[in-house]
A and B are shown apart, each in its own frame.
Chain A
């Protein structure tokens, strides 16, 4: 399973499925990371975590641990 965590900087991927449950999952979805949406990995923070992504035309910061719950292709 490929997750958002494994994506290379600069690559654009499509969200396939969200794993996890409850508040964490809902929050991620509320921010626009839903099935079928395109995500571009812009950069990794200087200390290696979190990630900065572009989704639905805006920039979002997400921790690697949470990015791991997002299956992409």
Chain B
């Protein structure tokens, strides 16, 4: 089991090569075994609950002091510990010296020097861990000051004497710290608790500090003594290469231009040039011109039924293909992000942008997901994975989908062309609405109960810069890409099939496959029902409802649907060419020429639940069904409220007043209240 800070978010299991009976569990990278962050709780519950045979603690040799802090806590668990000091090549290159023999003697556990980068010593580390597991001998403990030891001895006797001997100390220390999670787990009697509290208070009084601080302080004092005995830093005051790089890239004047340039490059390569080309190639050429027609004609040739042909070629392959089309682009993007992450610039991005983003409940690291989402929401949502704070990450996932992505632009262009004479301000408004939705949602959400609780402070390690390592980058890129492909294979496949079935079958005149005919599909019927819901937003006709539903498959579908319903097959091309006449015909047909209805329709489609691919990404990143539905539900409700407010207050300017106007004002008032109310959940 290892500790690679910032790399693992969930625990992962694997078998050790050549030792098929050994299971390795990689736990989230953590700094401590405190009960406050999700990663720490996951790691801690595993260690305490499952009690693995041995712990392999990976320590960053270039940051020995801070890393040993976790080691001292792991040792207390009473599980055999082997410490592997990583990045030894860099330590040596810097001219620093770690006396591992002495450190091993003082800590009392086996220490292996490794370099994951150069694949040095990895096997030795694993073998040392196996040996430690076989011997089963826990590491001897370091002792705290007299007053603390006195209290711990009492706690061991009073509260945990019935636990196995080697586990007693860890529990006793946690009880001393008043760790709420452990106290709840042990469920001690009132009298015992009172008795223990006296012991803790006595130690606190003697050392003039609170119990938690006493323990943390004494650990670091102990580590400082270890450092003094075993570590020699070569250069004091001399700037390392990393320091020199940092001087330039986070320089007060140069930081922002460099940052803007780096982000422009990421955006340009992944979204603008190469990325855009791959999406076009995958969707239009590979799937659109080659695979789908080929499959369709092959199925035709073997005499496959029309409906089955349609289901396979258009429904399954077309639907999943529309999603898989984004894979190369995502891979390029993830590759670039992995490079930024691996060389250490990503945490500087957060450092630079934090001030802006935390104002609305996000963190500096939310910047990258938002930027990426302006191209495509799917990689944007997945890029949120680099945010360590659980709350910031969830908030970022929930709001990233509001940014108008590339696929939503045709909707914007269509509405602009159909109802506003192609005016450019419609697109500008779309971006403002998207960004505004992120900001408003951030402020509203951070005050809700779901995001309440003690905030984890934004204390972030800024790692040294180093040249990115190819193997790290490719692994990170592949893992992210693959998890998306798997998602496309399940959720998105199922959703595509359902939508196809609804869109291609009809009840009218007996249950049958529609094909090219124009009889009403099941989806049309559903559209008619749902249209009632959209009536208050100004677009209560079944065409707009169907377009919205099909927008869930892919947002660019929305325009295509209008096209085919208006008998203009290639509406998407018409929009691209700026053919105003036919767009205006469609605008008249579907929105009665009402600018307001069209605008309301656009807002709803920009803000409501994203496409299936993005929903899949949300599910993947939330890793929790409740949160996924909460996120999607929130987006739909928010979209509905904003559209309703805009539509009816807009109507009022035209002199139309109804009960809905009142509701619009109530909603607006509620929104303002949610924005400005006091945050009662902050300490």
Among A32, A47, A49, A61, the residue within 8 A (CB) of B220 is: A32
Please tell me which one of the listed residues A56, A58, A59, A66 contacts residue B457 in the complex, with CB atoms under 8 A apart. Answer: A66
A27-B347 contact given A34-B217, A34-B220, A45-B250, CB 8 Å threshold: no
Q: Shortest beta-carbon distance, B43 to chain A, in Å?
A: 13
Q: Quick one: given A24-B455, A58-B66, are A46 and B461 in contact (CB under 8 Å)? A: no
B63 close to A (CB within 8 Å): yes
A23 touches B36 (CB 8 A): yes
User: Are A50 and B351 also in contact (CB < 8 A) when A26-B34, A28-B459, A66-B458 are?
Assistant: yes
For B220, what are the chain A residues with a Cβ–Cβ distance below 8 Å? 32, 34, 37, 56
Q: In the complex, what residues of B have CB within 8 A of residue A50's CB? A: 351, 354-355, 458
What is the distance, in angstroms, from B174's C-beta to the closest C-beta of chain A? 13
Is there an interface contact between B457 and A27, defined as CB atoms closer than 8 Å? yes
Instruction: Give complex CA distance A32, B32 in Å.
Output: 11
A10 at the interface (CB under 8 A from B): no
Whether a CB of chain B sits under 8 angstroms from the CB of A14 is: no
Cβ B459 vs Cβ A61 within 8 A: yes
- The answer to whether B250 touches A46, judged by C-beta atoms less than 8 angstroms apart, is yes
Give the contacts of A24-73 with B (CB-CB under 8 A).
24-32, 34-37, 43-50, 52, 56-63, 66
Q: Is B532 an interface residue (CB 8 A)?
A: no
A-B contact count (CB 8 A): 128
User: Is there contact, CB below 8 Å, between B462 and A31?
Assistant: no
Residues A45 and B355 in contact, CB atoms below 8 Å apart = yes
B residues within 8 A CB of A24? 454-457
Give A9 to B335 CA distance when docked, in angstroms: 36
> Bound complex: CA of A35 vs CA of B347, how far in Å?
27
Residue B252 at the chain A interface, CB threshold 8 Å: yes
Q: Which residues of B contact A63 (CB under 8 A)?
A: 354, 358, 457-459
Expressed in whole angstroms, the Cα–Cα distance for A24 and B212 within the complex equals 12
Q: Is B565 an interface residue (CB 8 A)?
A: no
In contact, A46 and B212 (Cβ under 8 angstroms): no
Q: Is the CB of B459 within 8 A of A66?
A: yes
Q: Are the CB atoms of A32 and B65 closer together than 8 Å?
A: yes
A56 in contact with B216 given A46-B352, A49-B354 (CB within 8 Å): no
**In the complex, what's the smallest C-beta–C-beta distance from A17 to chain B, in angstroms?**
9
Q: Distance (Å) between the CB of B278 and the closest chain A CB?
A: 34
Q: Does B305 contact A (CB under 8 A)?
A: no
- Residue B233 CB within 8 A of the other chain: yes
B660 at the interface (CB under 8 A from A): no
Q: In whole angstroms, what is the CA distance A59 to B34 when docked?
A: 21
Q: Chain B, 32-56, contact with A by CB distance < 8 Å: what is the 0/1 string?
A: 1010110000000000000000000
Taking the complex as formed, is B627 at the interface, i.e. its CB lies under 8 A from any CB of chain A? no
Compute how far the CA of A30 lies from the CA of B66 in the bound complex, rounded to whole angstroms: 8
Residues of B within 8 Å of A32, CB to CB, are: 65-66, 69, 220
Which residues of B537-582 have CB atoms within 8 Å of chain A's CB atoms?
Answer: none
**A29 contacts which of B62, B63, B216, B356 (Cβ < 8 Å)?**
B216
Question: Which residues of B are found within 8 Å of A21, using beta-carbon distances?
Answer: 210
Cβ contact of A43, chosen from B250, B356, B358, cutoff 8 A = B250
CA distance A49 to B358 in the complex (A): 11
Rounded to whole Å, the gap between the CB of B350 and the closest CB of chain A is: 8
B interface residue count range (under 10 / 10 to 19 / 20 to 34 / 35 or more): 35 or more
Smallest beta-carbon distance A72→chain B, Å: 16
Q: Say whether B461 contacts A60, CB under 8 Å.
A: yes
Find A48's partner among B221, B246, B355, B459 (CB 8 Å cutoff). B355
Q: Which residues of B contact A18 (CB under 8 A)?
A: 213
- The yes or no answer to B184 lying at the interface (CB within 8 A) is no
Given that A18-B213, A30-B32 are known contacts, is A61 also in contact with B456, CB under 8 Å in the complex?
no
Q: How far is the CA of A63 from the CA of B460 in the complex (A)?
A: 9
Contact call B458/A61, Cβ cutoff below 8 A? yes
Separation of A68 and B221 alpha carbons in the complex (Å):
23
Chain B contacts for A57, CB-based, 8 A: 63-66, 233
Question: Within B443-463, which residues are at the interface with A (CB < 8 Å)?
Answer: 454-463
Does B31 make an interface contact (CB < 8 A)? yes
* A44 and B251 alpha carbons, distance in the complex (Å): 9
Other-chain residue from A27, A31, A46, A49 in contact with B252 (beta carbon distance below 8 A): A46
Please tell me if B683 contacts chain A, counting CB pairs below 8 Å: yes
Using Cβ atoms and an 8 Å threshold, which residues of chain A touch B122? none
Q: How far is the CA of A35 from the CA of B213 in the complex (A)?
A: 9
Q: Which chain A residues border B355 with CB–CB below 8 Å?
A: 45, 47-50
Residues of chain A within 8 A of B455, CB atoms compared: 23-24
Whole-angstrom distance between the alpha carbons of A23 and B355 in the complex? 21
Task: Give the residues in chain A near B454, CB-CB below 8 Å.
Answer: 22-24
Q: Which residues of B contact A22 (CB under 8 A)?
A: 36, 454, 683
Instruction: Tell me the minimal C-beta distance from B64 to chain A in angstroms.
Output: 8
Q: Contacts A26-B216, A47-B355, A56-B65 given; indicate if A62 touches B457 (C-beta within 8 A).
A: yes
Residue contact A31 to B459, C-beta cutoff 8 Å: yes
**What CA separation (Å) do A60 and B683 show in the bound complex?**
24
Collect the chain A residues with CB atoms within 8 Å of residue B351's CB: 45, 50, 52, 61
Chain A neighbourhood of B209, CB < 8 A = 35
Specify which chain A residues have a CB less than 8 angstroms from the CB of B683 in the assembled complex: 22
CB-based contact B352/A45 at 8 Å: yes
How distant is A7 from chain B, measured CB to nearest CB, in Å?
Answer: 16
Asked if B256 CB lies within 8 Å of chain A CBs, one says yes
Interface: B296 (CB within 8 A): no
Residues of B within 8 A of A30 (CB): 31-32, 34, 69, 216
24 pairs, CB–CB < 8 Å, chain A vs chain B: A18-B213, A23-B454, A24-B456, A25-B213, A26-B216, A27-B34, A27-B36, A27-B456, A30-B69, A34-B213, A34-B220, A35-B213, A35-B217, A43-B252, A45-B250, A46-B352, A50-B355, A52-B462, A56-B65, A57-B64, A59-B462, A60-B461, A61-B458, A62-B458
List the 5 closest pairs (A to B, CB-CB), nearest first.
A30-B32, A23-B454, A59-B462, A23-B36, A47-B355
**Which residues of A are in contact with B by a Cβ distance under 8 Å?**
18, 21-32, 34-37, 43-50, 52, 56-63, 66
**Besides A18-B213, A49-B354, A60-B462, 12 new A-B residue pairs in contact (Cβ under 8 A), listed by A number:** A23-B454, A26-B216, A29-B213, A36-B217, A46-B352, A47-B352, A47-B356, A56-B65, A58-B62, A59-B246, A61-B350, A66-B458
